[in-house]
Structure 1
Amino acid sequence: MISTLSRGYDYTFGRLVLYSCDSVVAISKACKEFTLELAHVKKISVIYRGITPVVSHVERNKQSILIGFVGRLVDLK
């Protein structure tokens, strides 16, 4: 059920967003091919590991746990 909802989201809202973009940055060749299949965007760049980690010192409580995540959890494979 989640994969059906994800696919519906991609093919409605995702397609709408892609059609309104001037350019798209993909994180892999497979992501680029999926984007081309979804919406025929003219300008797609592929940048592997597109985010360079920025090391910064953040003062926080030593007993707290900090977890970060960018993306979405979908069973695609």
Structure 2
Amino acid sequence: MKVCLGGTFYPLHKGHQQLLRKAFQVAGPQGFVFIGVTTTAMVKKKGSIASFEKRKAVLMQFIQEERVLPKVSIQPLT
């Protein structure tokens, strides 16, 4: 199954982590999870938010710890 979700993911908190784990579970071992992360330009109005690259890196670290890297794609939301 394919699962798609998106957000700012800043900061990456326990709620985000639970949502991501559920997405991996729903996708299943043969599935795929697409994660859209808002771009830096898109969230400028919100004030002090980490760059897209930093937020993507934090997500990648979490995903690596969850050992689901082969079935995940992180893309910018514009």
Where is the strand percentage greater, Structure 1 or Structure 2?
Answer: 2
The two structures share one fold, judged by TM-score above 0.5: no
Where is the helix percentage greater, Structure 1 or Structure 2?
Answer: 2
**Greater Cα radius of gyration, structure 1 or 2:** 1
Higher relative contact order (CA 8 A, sep 6+): 2
